Amino acid sequence: MREAFPLLIEACQIALVLFAAPLLAGWVRALKCWTQGRTSPGVLQPYRNLIKLFSKDIVLAHNASWVFRFTPYLLFGSVLMAGAIIPIISVDLPLSATADIIALVALFAIGRFFIALAGMDVGTAFGGMGSSREMMIASLAEPAVLMTTFTVSLFGHTTSLSEMVRFIGQQNFFLSPSMVFAAIAFVLTLLAETGRVPVDNPVTHLELTMIHEGMILEYSGRYLALVEWAGMMKLFIFTSLGVALFVPWGIPQGDDLMDIPLAVLIMAGKLALVAAGIVLAETGLAKMRIFRVPEFLGTAFLIATLGMLSHFILEM
Amino acid sequence: MEGSLSSLVLTAIFILIASVAIVPLFHRRQHLIVSIIFPVFSAASLFSLFAGILAVAGGEAETLILPVGLPDLPFHLRLDPLSGFFITVVSLLAFCVSIYSRGYIAGFIGKRSVTHLAIFYPLFLAGMLLVLVSDDAYFFLISWELMAAASYFLVLYEDGVVENRRAAYIYLVVAHIGAVAILLAFGVMAGFAAGFDTFHGYTFDAMRGASLPPAWASTAFVLAFLGFGAKAGIVPLHVWLPEAHPAAPSNVSALMSGAMLKTAIYGIVRFTFDILHTPQLWWGELVLAVGLASAILGVLAALLENDLKRLLAYSSVENIGIILVGLGLGMIFLSFHQPLMAALAITAALYHTLNHAMFKGLLFMGAGAVLHATGVRNMEKMGGLIHKMKWTAPLFLVGCLSISALPPFNGFVSEWLTFQAFLMSPSLPSQHLNLVIPLGAALLALVAALSASCFVKAFGVTFLGHCRSEACATAHDATPSMRAGMMIAATACLLLGVFPTVVIAWMGNLSSQLAGETIARSAGEVGWLWLTPVSAQRASYAAPMVLLGIASVLLVVFLTLRSKKSAIHRVPLWDCGFEKITSTMQYTSTAFSMPPRLIFGYLFHIKERVRPGLPDGRPAEFPAKVNYSVRVRDRAWGWFYRPVADLAFRLAKHTARLQHGRIHIYLAYSFFTILFLLLVAL
């Protein structure tokens, strides 16, 4: 029976990523409404949206090719795969050896590659513009992500997510300068990777400010539902990844099924707090001009580099 | 079975060279040449492919001495894991491309004679194989020149176009400057091996035994790196590459980019790790720095390019850079006596060599199919080809995914291994390297992401959206043999990506030959499913699981949604109520690369011009048409080539004063020269 525990935990986690992601997105939106003095439709609204979209017919442009139709499925698949790998409710996941953190970043890159292609497939200017900008932001974010990864991996001499989280989780709570720098850099890249203010605005449909929305403008029905759901999962996964890397205390180290409910609760608490932070940033900041984004991401890279340098200089 | 593998390679070379004699006999039967001779070339490649694979797996070195050449200077041949590996790379690609060529070359029949293409093509292949098996400097250089000359004539195949002649000329000049540097490097080695007054140091075996003072070893290394680097296309010696590769017929471009550049990598590896065998730290740093510079400048130039084949050529500069990054790390690790880490870095570099041959070959073949179908290379005139080229499009996409380092394809495995090699650097006992090397990793991450951006553009603008000109309105798909060639390469891309543990286990002998250690054992210690370059605790990647995981989610979701009743309505494109949307309103290639042009433009020489169109009676503030032009040039032209070329011309001008065109003055020159030499000799 005990042998099946890791598999059960894995199944729990996949279910959690699938079904809690809209809740997190709903929580972010509701909080945002409250901080801006609006009435929110409730934290469950994303579920209603998804259900509505799944039941709708699809409207497809004449020259949409198979790339356009294949992309939502692939995006969903690759993001869910990433969700199965990172340690959210347990460090001991059977699938965690599938990919280390570098491969995890690449898993997100697959989805991005295809969604950028889908943006160009129909042949509108908005789609192409969104693709071009998304790829630019992604390529500038990548070095910062890698530097952050590198800094965190220096502690446990590993890039395996489980091992990194296990190593840091086994220490007493500590704040080292390099970790703080890495965490700040991670937050900045998280905002860019998940398309939040100040880099992109997830609620805009104003022509010239769209990035992510520009690429998916032509999607409808279940395709749009899958893309939206994948976007919510991505936000969920990125925030959980940040939590797992920088404040892993509370994620169970073993494979005991009894630990899981508590772990889920602790995780939910942490995520709710992180989401509140994102909302505060989104409310307090305005969206940047697109060509200020390189400076923003350059800052993230610099901070991550400082983190690495401070590890070598101060902590060795 | 002594010598059986090398005889297999020699058979392949013999078939290739013999066909040179036979092809001219069928000059009048062009169709016959194409349909018979190219399958023969693929068969020959298959022979050498088997020999190469077995030579790496066997791990033994076979040597052979051919009593031809100058008296007392026989040709030495050697087939060891290193040459076996590169023979595998070259032959696997040559196999695919030869199948592809049958359909591609047939397109030339009726336009121009294919006879000399069918003559220089096998000579080019044979030249590459000979370079890889030669074991002395003399034979090596002969083979090297054979390869260069044959490829020069292939670049010049469509000689009616001015640009092609210019490209071929630049190629020839750079190739020869490189060859001179290689010759000098061998000269230094041979001199220290057996003394400067005899020829006996010319074999690689003698050179391996030579003990060089560090300064001379460095001289030899720098000369060899320059010489081979010119061929490989390192920055700033890369400018011939985006000229020559697009000018050649696409099958030849595939071979030049995929295989010929690899012979230069072979040269660097052979010279540094085998002949000189104890790399110094600063060599590694130099190679790493040059590799990073090539990678970043190559990918940016590719991203700013609108010509599909030039884009691919620049991306070869990038990939050569990535390979050199791995090799540079290997040298650094070896200089600190860390054989295991060096084995990881070298395996990463050589794996990328194999991968690049496959996906770049595939992409050039795909570009050839597009060129074949539309007659244009400019991406701004393409679009929507996915509807017309139902086979080429997905195959080209596989190439794009592989080169963009996306799992589960092969490009990702080698880049991942390179990153792992980078992440090993903190265990080096050198503070400043600990601080600097990770920045290289960040730069490599930038390169990988930019390359994804570049290939989103390449595929998106070429194959997706609407047709941008009449050129693609009549486009047709590739012929069956072209498809077959591309399909084999695409399958190789997938297999090399999904089964890395198998490939690395096969490459075990190779890294033990070069670094004295291998990661073959640790890479598969948890099972063939998980690639664990150092240990399972450190990092792991299971490509089959990624593929299976994504595929199963995809299938489940697809089937679940399929069972539901929801119709798909095909409607015209949403035009925001504008109603006059045309294909020119799509995002173009120039537009797509505008953000990187703005951010990284200072690295290039960019001329951007906006002019109002012809006056048509409208007020100047509201022109009906605006002409926009942008030209991106390598700074290397102005900074490096122009001064060198000017200097060469100036020197030539001064030297020309010696020449008067009168025979008695020339005779006097000869007389005084002989007199001088006699005086010196006596």
Per-residue pLDDT tens digits for A182-210:
999 999 999 999 988 888 888 877 777 78
Residue of A nearest to B545 (CA): A98
Q: How confident is the model at residue B2 (pLDDT cuts 50, 70, 90)?
A: low
Of the listed ranges A33-42, A233-242, A252-261, B393-402, the one predicted with least confidence: A252-261
Residues 408..467 of B with a Cβ closer than 8 Å to A: which? 412, 416, 419-420, 423, 426-427, 431, 434-435, 438-439, 441-443, 445-446, 448-450, 452-453, 456-457, 459-461, 464-466
Q: How confident is the model at residue B132 (pLDDT cuts 50, 70, 90)?
A: very high
pLDDT tens, B385-398?
A: 999 999 999 999 99
* Residue A310 in tokens: 């401070």
| Chain B nearest C-alpha distance from A240 (Å) | 20
Query: Does the CB of B70 have a partner CB in chain A at under 8 Å?
Result: no
pLDDT at A173 over 80: no
Residue-level pLDDT at A1: 67
DSSP assignment of B398-459, as one string?
Answer: HHHHHHTT-TTSHHHHHHHHHHHHHHHGGGSS-HHHHHHHHHHHHHHHHHHHHHHHHHHHHH
Q: What residues of chain A lie within 8 A of the CB of B473, using their CB?
A: none
Q: How confident is the model at residue B186 (pLDDT cuts 50, 70, 90)?
A: very high
Determine, for residues A103 and B416 on separate chains, whether the beta-carbon distance falls below 8 Å. yes
| Chain A nearest C-alpha distance from B287 (Å) | 21
The model carries a pTM of: 0.95
Name the residue facing B387 among A63, A112, A140 (closest C-beta).
A63
pLDDT tens, B316-328?
A: 999 999 999 999 9
pLDDT at B446 over 70: yes
- Rounded-to-integer distance, Cα A198 and Cα A285, Å: 6
pLDDT tens, B370-383?
A: 999 998 999 999 99
- Closest by Cα among B136, B133, B13 to B73: B136
pLDDT at B129 over 60: yes
| Orientation angle between helical segments A177-193 and A221-246, nearest 10 degrees | 170
Determine, for residues A63 and B466 on separate chains, whether the beta-carbon distance falls below 8 Å. yes
Q: Stretch B337-350: mean pLDDT, rounded?
A: 94
* Residue B171 in tokens: 């190629």
Residue of B nearest to A290 (CA): B595
Rounded to whole angstroms, the maximal C-alpha distance in chain B is 101
* Residue B390 in tokens: 């139902």
Q: Stretch A283-312: mean pLDDT, rounded?
A: 91
pLDDT at B357 over 50: yes
Residue of B nearest to A53 (CA): B566
Determine, for residues B438 and A157 on separate chains, whether the beta-carbon distance falls below 8 Å. no
Q: Where in chain B are the domains?
A: 279-556, 606-613+624-682
Amino acid at residue number B419: F
Determine, for residues A131 and B585 on separate chains, whether the beta-carbon distance falls below 8 Å. no
Task: Residue A44: count other Cβ atoms within 10 Å of its Cβ.
Answer: 12
Determine, for residues A117 and B464 on separate chains, whether the beta-carbon distance falls below 8 Å. yes
Q: How confident is the model at residue B650 (pLDDT cuts 50, 70, 90)?
A: very high
pLDDT at B1 over 60: no
ipTM above 0.85, yes or no: yes
Q: What residues of chain B lie within 8 A of the CB of A199, using their CB?
A: none
Of the listed ranges A248-257, B226-235, B320-329, B495-504, the one predicted with least confidence: A248-257
Q: How confident is the model at residue B443 (pLDDT cuts 50, 70, 90)?
A: very high
Q: Which of A110, A167, A313 would best serve as a mutation to test chain B binding (most B beta carbons within 10 A)?
A: A110
pLDDT tens, B10-19?
A: 999 999 999 9
Query: Does the CB of B401 have a partner CB in chain A at under 8 Å?
Result: yes
Residue-level pLDDT at B565: 67
Residue of B nearest to A207 (CA): B576
Q: How confident is the model at residue B309 (pLDDT cuts 50, 70, 90)?
A: very high
Q: What residues of chain A lie within 8 A of the CB of B536, using their CB?
A: 97, 160
Q: What residues of chain B lie within 8 A of the CB of A301, using their CB?
A: 442
Strand partners, B633: B605
Q: Stretch A284-295: mean pLDDT, rounded?
A: 90
pLDDT tens, A40-64?
A: 999 999 999 999 999 999 999 988 9
* Residue B204 in tokens: 């690689």
Q: How confident is the model at residue A257 (pLDDT cuts 50, 70, 90)?
A: confident
pLDDT tens, B516-547?
A: 888 888 888 888 888 888 888 888 899 999 99
A62 burial via Cβ count (<10 Å: 0-12, 13-18, 19+): exposed
Q: Which of B540, B563, B575 would best serve as a mutation to test chain A binding (most A beta carbons within 10 A)?
A: B540
pLDDT at A250 over 50: yes
Query: Does the CB of B540 have a partner CB in chain A at under 8 Å?
Result: yes
- Rounded-to-integer distance, Cα B469 and Cα B461, Å: 12
Q: What residues of chain B lie within 8 A of the CB of A74, using their CB?
A: 550, 554
pLDDT at B310 over 60: yes
- Helix-, strand-, coil-residue percentages of chain B, each rounded to 5: 70, 5, 25
Q: Which of A80, A126, A136, A205 would best serve as a mutation to test chain B binding (most B beta carbons within 10 A)?
A: A136
Q: How confident is the model at residue B297 (pLDDT cuts 50, 70, 90)?
A: very high
Determine, for residues A222 and B561 on separate chains, whether the beta-carbon distance falls below 8 Å. yes
What is chain B's mean pLDDT, rounded? 91
Tell me the three state secondary structure of residue B349: helix
Determine, for residues A78 and B550 on separate chains, whether the beta-carbon distance falls below 8 Å. yes
How far apart are the two ends of chain B, measured CA to CA in Å?
54
